[in-house]
Chain A
Amino acid sequence: MEAVAFQHIDKSFGAVTALRDVTFAVASGECHAIVGENGAGKSTLLNILAGSLRPDRGQLALAGTPVALASPREALSRGIGLVHQEMLAFPNLSVAANIFAGREVTNRLGVLREAEMHARARALLERMRLPISPDAHVETLRPAHRQLLQVARALAFDCRLLALDEPTTSLTTAETDHLFDILEDLRLAGVTVLYVSHRLPEVFRLSQRISVLRDGCFVDTFESKSVSRDDIVRAMVGRSIPHPSTRSGRPERRIAGEQVEGQRPPGRAPTSGEDPRLRVTNLTRRGSVEDVSLTVGPGEIVGVFGLVGSGRTELLESIAGIHPCDRGSIAVDGRPARARSPRAAAEAGVVLVPEDRQREGLCFNLSLRHNLVLPAAATRGTFLIRGSEVADSNALLRTWRIAAPSTAITPDRLSGGNQQKIVVAKWLALTPRVLLLDEPTKGVDVAAKYDIHGIILDLAARGTSVLLVSSDLPEVLTLSDRVLVMREGRLRGELAGGADEEQVMRLATTAPEDAA
Chain B
Amino acid sequence: MKAIWRIRELSTLAILAFEIAFFAWYLWPGEGRPHPFLNAANALLVLKYSSIYGIAAIGAAIVIICGGIDLAPGAIIALSGVVAGGLFVDGHWGLGSSAVAGLTVAAACGLLSAALIVLAGLPPFIATLGVMGIARGVAFIITEGRYFDVSSALPADWRVAGIPLDWTSPILMVGLAAAFQILMTRFQWGRAIFAIGGNPVAALFSGVSVGVVRASVYLVSATLAGVSGVALTIVQGQGKADLAMGYELDIIASAVVGGASLSGGRGSVVGAVLGTLIFGVLRNALPQVPGATFYDRLIVGLVVIAIVVMDQLLQRRKGANA
Mark out the residues of chain B between 203 and 256 whose CB falls within 8 Å of any chain A CB in the assembled complex. 203-209
* Segment of A98-106, A273-281, A472-480 engaged in the interface with chain B: A98-106
A102–B186 CA distance with the chains assembled, in angstroms: 14
Is B320 a contact of A287 with CB atoms below 8 Å?
A: yes
Closest Cβ–Cβ distance, residue B180 to chain A (whole Å): 14
Is A102 a contact of B206 with CB atoms below 8 Å?
A: yes
Nearest-neighbor residue (CB-CB) of A105 within chain B: B188
Write out, one digit per residue, whether chain A residues 91-127 have a CB within 8 A of any chain B CB (1) or not (0): 1110001000111101000111010000000000000
Known: A76-B207, A140-B322, A153-B206. A90 touches B199 (CB 8 A): yes
Nearest-neighbor residue (CB-CB) of B267 within chain A: A92
Collect the chain B residues with CB atoms within 8 Å of residue A102's CB.
Answer: 192, 195, 203, 206-208
Is A104 a contact of B191 with CB atoms below 8 Å?
A: yes
Which single member of B188, B205, B207 contacts A88 (CB below 8 Å)? B205
- B197 interfacial by beta-carbon distance below 8 Å: yes
Is A88 a contact of B195 with CB atoms below 8 Å?
A: no
- B194 interfacial by beta-carbon distance below 8 Å: yes
- B202 interfacial by beta-carbon distance below 8 Å: yes
Nearest-neighbor residue (CB-CB) of B187 within chain A: A110
Write out, one digit per residue, whether chain B residues 296-322 have a CB within 8 A of any chain A CB (1) or not (0): 000000000000000000000001101
- A84 interfacial by beta-carbon distance below 8 Å: yes
Is B187 a contact of A90 with CB atoms below 8 Å?
A: no
Interface centre among B187, B188, B320 (most CB of A within 10 A): B188
Interface centre among A82, A102, A103, A286 (most CB of B within 10 A): A102
- A394 interfacial by beta-carbon distance below 8 Å: no
A50–B188 CA distance with the chains assembled, in angstroms: 23
Is B320 a contact of A286 with CB atoms below 8 Å?
A: yes
- B201 interfacial by beta-carbon distance below 8 Å: yes
Write out, one digit per residue, whether chain B residues 40-56 have a CB within 8 A of any chain A CB (1) or not (0): 00000000000000000
- A234 interfacial by beta-carbon distance below 8 Å: no
Is B205 a contact of A90 with CB atoms below 8 Å?
A: no
Is B186 a contact of A111 with CB atoms below 8 Å?
A: yes
A212–B49 CA distance with the chains assembled, in angstroms: 67
Is B208 a contact of A90 with CB atoms below 8 Å?
A: no
A461–B202 CA distance with the chains assembled, in angstroms: 46
Nearest-neighbor residue (CB-CB) of B192 within chain A: A102
- A89 interfacial by beta-carbon distance below 8 Å: yes
A463–B270 CA distance with the chains assembled, in angstroms: 62
Collect the chain A residues with CB atoms within 8 Å of residue B209's CB.
Answer: 73
Collect the chain B residues with CB atoms within 8 Å of residue A114's CB.
Answer: 186
Nearest-neighbor residue (CB-CB) of B204 within chain A: A72
Is B206 a contact of A93 with CB atoms below 8 Å?
A: no
Give the dominant DSSP class at B's interface. Answer: helix
Is B194 a contact of A92 with CB atoms below 8 Å?
A: yes
Closest Cβ–Cβ distance, residue A159 to chain B (whole Å): 12
Collect the chain A residues with CB atoms within 8 Å of residue B208's CB.
Answer: 73, 101-102
Nearest-neighbor residue (CB-CB) of A73 within chain B: B207
Write out, one digit per residue, whether chain A residues 31-68 have a CB within 8 A of any chain B CB (1) or not (0): 00000000000000000001010000000000000000
Closest Cβ–Cβ distance, residue B263 to chain A (whole Å): 10
Is A52 a contact of B188 with CB atoms below 8 Å?
A: no
Is A110 a contact of B195 with CB atoms below 8 Å?
A: no
- B130 interfacial by beta-carbon distance below 8 Å: no
A287–B202 CA distance with the chains assembled, in angstroms: 27
A111–B319 CA distance with the chains assembled, in angstroms: 31
Known: A90-B198, A92-B194, A92-B197. A112 touches B188 (CB 8 A): yes
A76–B194 CA distance with the chains assembled, in angstroms: 20
Collect the chain B residues with CB atoms within 8 Å of residue A71's CB.
Answer: 204, 207
Known: A89-B202, A286-B320. A103 touches B195 (CB 8 A): no
Mark out the residues of chain A between 263 and 290 whose CB falls within 8 Å of any chain B CB in the assembled complex. 286-287
Collect the chain A residues with CB atoms within 8 Å of residue B265's CB.
Answer: 90-93
Collect the chain A residues with CB atoms within 8 Å of residue B189's CB.
Answer: 110
Which single member of B187, B195, B205, B266 contacts A112 (CB below 8 Å)? B187
Collect the chain A residues with CB atoms within 8 Å of residue B188's CB.
Answer: 104, 106, 110, 112
Which single member of B191, B205, B320 contacts A84 (CB below 8 Å)? B205
A89–B205 CA distance with the chains assembled, in angstroms: 10
Is B198 a contact of A91 with CB atoms below 8 Å?
A: yes
Known: A76-B207, A101-B208, A102-B192. A88 touches B187 (CB 8 A): no
Known: A92-B265, A101-B191. A52 touches B204 (CB 8 A): yes
A513–B12 CA distance with the chains assembled, in angstroms: 43
Is B195 a contact of A93 with CB atoms below 8 Å?
A: yes
Known: A90-B198, A91-B199. A50 touches B187 (CB 8 A): no
Collect the chain B residues with CB atoms within 8 Å of residue A97's CB.
Answer: 191, 194-195
Closest Cβ–Cβ distance, residue A167 to chain B (whole Å): 15
Known: A111-B186, A287-B320. A89 touches B199 (CB 8 A): yes
Is B197 a contact of A88 with CB atoms below 8 Å?
A: no
Nearest-neighbor residue (CB-CB) of A136 within chain B: B322
Nearest-neighbor residue (CB-CB) of A100 within chain B: B191
A106–B209 CA distance with the chains assembled, in angstroms: 17
Is A101 a contact of B320 with CB atoms below 8 Å?
A: no
26 example contacts (A-B, Cβ-Cβ < 8 A) are as follows: A52-B205, A72-B205, A72-B206, A72-B207, A73-B207, A88-B199, A88-B202, A88-B205, A90-B194, A90-B195, A92-B197, A92-B266, A93-B191, A93-B195, A97-B194, A97-B195, A101-B202, A101-B206, A104-B191, A110-B187, A110-B188, A110-B189, A111-B187, A114-B186, A137-B322, A140-B322
Give B contacts to A, CB under 8 Å: 186-189, 191-192, 194-195, 197-199, 201-209, 265-266, 319-320, 322
Q: Which 7 residue pairs are nearest across A and B when measured between Cβ atoms? A: A102-B206, A92-B265, A88-B202, A90-B198, A102-B207, A73-B207, A92-B198
Given contacts A90-B195, A140-B322, 18 further A-B contacts (CB under 8 A): A72-B207, A73-B209, A76-B207, A90-B198, A90-B199, A90-B202, A90-B203, A91-B198, A93-B191, A97-B191, A101-B195, A101-B208, A102-B207, A106-B187, A110-B189, A112-B188, A139-B319, A153-B206
